[in-house]
Structure 1
Amino acid sequence: MPAETTPHDATWMAWPSGSYTLGETAAEAEAARRTWADVANAVAEWEPVHLLVPPSERAEARRLLGAGVTCHEVPLDDAWYRDIGPTFVVDTDDAGERRLGAVNWTFNGWGQQSWATWEHDAVASLVATEASGAVRIDSAMVNEGGGIHTDGAGTFLVTESVQLDPGRNPGWTRAQVQAELAHTVGARELVWLERGLTRDHERYGTRGHVDIVATFADRGVLLVHDQRDPAHPDHAITRDVAATLAEARDADGKPLDVLALPAPAVLRDEEGWVDYSYVNHYVCNGAVIACSFADPHDAEARDVLADAYPGRHVVQIDARPLFARGGGIHCITQQQPCLSADVPEGSR
């Protein structure tokens, strides 16, 4: 699995289609649609975007999406394509030809959550797999794209609360997870975190996705959610995460450089402790599509991201409508890596 920072041929997304993603009022539905569209249109400035849209939302999607977005009409349960889409990988055959693969994880509604349905989402990964022409790789492991991060050289971040979740993979051991990730995405070293952020472990959370906790900005360089306020329960959690990562080694046995990315200053919303996270950004060709929260720490986060990804434009989008529904910008995007070493022609 290449690093997210390598060149992409495209980005894949899914459109909000019902239940909690559209909310209970027309205003809530419009906020959701506009936020998903804002992300898709921002990415489309830098690379092609493919977006799964349920037939009932065809007109709304076309009203808000720009010309750089290609729609694929399919039924959906939800809109988090990072999780329900495939994880793309690249292989080189004996003749030196590079081939694209697509790992189709088993998806069961983030561990059979009582509020989730996944009849359509369980097969939604096949849309990108088939349209991209990738070799299909099926995995028996229940996993989601938001549950892993890689440096592109075999080092992966995972959490015990996701891959070893009894609702996902009952009875599985670390060794079994290691073997499956080695087989499917080329993992050589797993860095295990105990859990994710507080809000993400509540009823409507994922039970600990790593992509709001830490990410690789480069080989050996990690950006880590830093909750500085002791009043928030994530203060203790992120201190434990930072300590674990300070002792970790990558697949080549080298230590990791851990850089703090501040949590927003806001601590609570009307539902409780927030899990707003600047870590949940998406790196595309030439840009970083980043979360903002109308928060005093937005500017500092932007500066940290600009330093971490030199040469890329940082584009901030208000992600509060996404987090109110259970995720962020990274959660709704999935990269399709480029088979060549160069950014595809036409990318900005």
Structure 2
Amino acid sequence: MSESNFFSTPKDSGFTFPAEWYPHRATWLTFPHNEASWQGDRLAKMRPQYLNFIKAISEGENVGIIANDEQLKSFIIAELEKINVDLNKIEFIIKPTNDAWCRDHGPAFLINPETKEKMIVDWGHNAWGGKYPPYDDDNRTPRAVAQYLGLPVVSPGIIMEGGSVDFNGAGTLLTSKSCLLNKNRNPHLSQAVIEEFLYSFYGVEQVLWVEDGIVGDDTDGHIDDTTRFVNEDTIVACVESDRNDENYDVLNTNLNMLKDMRLPNGKQLNIIELPMPKAVVIDGFRTPGSYANFLICNAGVIVPVFNNPNDTVAIDLLGQAFPGRKIIPLEATEIIWGQGSFHCLSQQEPLV
């Protein structure tokens, strides 16, 4: 690993963040071990669902697992063997970690399509506005992955979470005002300056803003719970049909904003309305259950389901949104108690 010697920005040097459907070499995960996120017996309850997630990804690509220590690595190997995961598809980095949400604290992989080079952007991480200290070990994760892979790394010097942005691979980035403009992230930066960082370090041409996120989302409104690209000009946008539901107004506001947006070529977004699950309430807590928190991987599209009346409807709609890709519904009722799901837990490494 070396600090990038780019005389300019990654964008100026031809690098960009590819769409999630771009072929992966691997998907990176930070294995959960901290009971602060899944308290009491909930950590043990969620692990079977998490291990099934690893197995599903490994059917089409490698899985890089960041394990807190050698003891945890041994535990992971034993558990994966029990469910017949091909251990040749599993890679490990041993380093201390704080939490499991690799989408937000993990590396952001950029590629140069011309030279076939790959690099890592090491954004700062402050646990969603300082909500869950300590987070210093997680903040060191991108550089540990860069060192393991022998990739150059660059640090923009601002707070940025992978779940707060989504990409179409053709120059457009989607995000939310409630998160990226929140004063608990980068209070010294204006919207215009934040956009410049997005252009320069993600290699995009356009930033589109929705307003807010869903109830139960402690990230202040990550985009990966509400709106996702499925191809260069098509999105799935979460909607709530029940006017009395807490998510109705915000999702309707977002939808109207999306309808007014145009891509750089002037084209309107194709919008597929994706229903929310009926409120996923566990022990009186409204979790941020959302079908939009899917992961696109080589094996297919891994979709969280919640033993919910709307599961089948969402699976069918996503099947239409991703023609030719396998839809892989996986139970996430225990995982969602930690206030995130499959996309939040993972970060893809493109193949070059």
* Alignment partners' CA distance in 2, 1:111 and 1:250: 31
What is the Cα deviation at residue 22 of structure 1? 4.1
* Alignment partners' CA distance in 2, 1:262 and 1:129: 38
Q: How many residues align?
A: 329
**3-state DSSP of counterpart to 1:320:** coil
Moved more, 226-235 or 141-150: 226-235
Q: Aligned match of 2:76 in 61, 75, 80?
A: 61
What is the Cα deviation at residue 267 of structure 1? 5.1
What is the Cα deviation at residue 292 of structure 1? 0.7
* Alignment partners' CA distance in 2, 1:86 and 1:267: 30
Paired position in structure 2 for 1:273: 286
Paired position in structure 1 for 2:48: 34
* Alignment partners' CA distance in 1, 2:221 and 2:323: 29
Q: Aligned match of 1:149 in 151, 166, 175?
A: 166
Q: Aligned match of 1:47 in 61, 65, 72?
A: 61
Q: Aligned match of 1:194 in 182, 192, 211?
A: 211
* Alignment partners' CA distance in 2, 1:228 and 1:116: 37
Deviations 1:245-298 (A, max 9, x none): 000112333210111111112353334433210000000114001111011111
What is the Cα deviation at residue 85 of structure 1? 0.5
**Does the CA contact (< 8 Å) of 2:282 and 2:337 recur in 1?**
no
Q: Does 1:101 align with 2:122?
A: no
What is the Cα deviation at residue 18 of structure 1? 1.3
1:175-190 superposed matches below 5 A: 175-190=192-207
* Alignment partners' CA distance in 2, 1:38 and 1:136: 31
Moved more, 140-149 or 265-274: 265-274
Q: Does 1:242 align with 2:255?
A: yes
Q: Does 1:81 align with 2:95?
A: no
What is the Cα deviation at residue 170 of structure 1? 0.4
Paired position in structure 2 for 1:255: 268
* Alignment partners' CA distance in 1, 2:327 and 2:303: 7
Deviations 1:207-252 (A, max 9, x none): 1111001000001100011121222110111111110000011233
**3-state DSSP of counterpart to 2:288:** coil
1:83-232 superposed matches below 5 A: 83-92=104-113, 96-113=114-131, 115-200=132-217, 205-232=218-245
- The alpha-carbon distance between structure 1 residues 290 and 196, as it changes in their structure 2 partners (threshold 3 A), is same
**3-state DSSP of counterpart to 1:35:** helix
What is the Cα deviation at residue 63 of structure 1? 2.1
What is the Cα deviation at residue 128 of structure 1? 2.2
* Alignment partners' CA distance in 2, 1:230 and 1:119: 41
- The alpha-carbon distance between structure 1 residues 157 and 74, as it changes in their structure 2 partners (threshold 3 A), is same
**3-state DSSP of counterpart to 1:106:** coil
Paired position in structure 2 for 1:289: 302
- The alpha-carbon distance between structure 1 residues 274 and 21, as it changes in their structure 2 partners (threshold 3 A), is closer
Moved more, 188-197 or 249-258: 249-258
Matched residues, percent identical?
Answer: 27
**Does the CA contact (< 8 Å) of 1:33 and 1:61 recur in 2?**
no
What is the Cα deviation at residue 337 of structure 1? 0.8
Q: CA RMSD in A?
A: 1.4
**3-state DSSP of counterpart to 1:330:** coil
Deviations 1:176-232 (A, max 9, x none): 1111011101121111112111211xxxx1111110010000011000111212221
Q: Aligned match of 1:71 in 55, 70, 92?
A: 92
- The alpha-carbon distance between structure 1 residues 116 and 320, as it changes in their structure 2 partners (threshold 3 A), is farther
**3-state DSSP of counterpart to 1:20:** coil
Q: Does 1:5 align with 2:21?
A: yes
* Alignment partners' CA distance in 2, 1:70 and 1:236: 43
**Does the CA contact (< 8 Å) of 1:41 and 1:69 recur in 2?**
no
Gaps of 5+ in 1: 340-348
Give the aligned residue type for 1:7: P
**Does the CA contact (< 8 Å) of 2:164 and 2:176 recur in 1?**
yes
* Alignment partners' CA distance in 2, 1:270 and 1:187: 42
- The alpha-carbon distance between structure 1 residues 24 and 197, as it changes in their structure 2 partners (threshold 3 A), is same
What is the Cα deviation at residue 37 of structure 1? 1.2
**3-state DSSP of counterpart to 2:50:** helix
Give the aligned residue type for 1:64: E
- The alpha-carbon distance between structure 1 residues 97 and 35, as it changes in their structure 2 partners (threshold 3 A), is same
**3-state DSSP of counterpart to 1:324:** helix
Gaps of 5+ in 2: 1-16
* Alignment partners' CA distance in 2, 1:267 and 1:334: 25
Give the aligned residue type for 1:32: M
